[in-house]
Amino acid sequence: MQSVDWSGNQQASITQPNEKQSTGGIAMFFQRKGWLRKEFDQKLLTQLQEYKEHWQKQKQLFDKSFDPSEEAICQTKIAQVKYFFLLREAKERNVSIKR
């Protein structure tokens, strides 16, 4: 910040941030981090439920088919792997469904 004195000379003044401003940014960052974590945990749970339903549908289709094709076998396996991957991620992040 610069100021001009009565003689016309410019003087640079350094303003020190007060303590509330410097710690407020850090606290705000951690609050935002918690908010983001909750948001992404909720998205993870939503995707987990969707992949579980998709896997169960593929499994039912596979079980009902008399002679399943290679594609049906692969699609069922892919759906299972996606579901278990998200399930493992939820366990690592300690995400649980509250009922």
**Among 66, 89, 67, 68, residue whose Cα is nearest residue 77:** 68
Residue 2 lies in a domain: no
Q: How far apart are CA 39 and CA 89, in angstroms?
A: 15
Please say whether the dihedral angle defined by the alpha carbons of residues 60, 63, 68 and 74, taken in this order, is positive or negative. Answer: positive
Residue 51 lies in a domain: yes
Q: 58 lies in which domain range? A: 43-99
Read off the tokens for 2.
Answer: 């610069």
pTM recorded for the entire structure: 0.60
Residue 65 lies in a domain: yes
Residue 97 lies in a domain: yes
Q: How far apart are CA 92 and CA 79, in angstroms?
A: 20
Residue 71 lies in a domain: yes
**pLDDT digit string (tens) for 55-94?**
999 999 889 888 888 998 999 999 999 999 999 999 998 8
**pLDDT digit string (tens) for 10-63?**
555 454 454 444 555 555 555 667 777 788 888 999 999 999 999 999 999 889
Torsion of CA 88, 92, 98, 99, to 10 degrees: 30
Residue 34 lies in a domain: no
- Count structural domains, the chain: 1
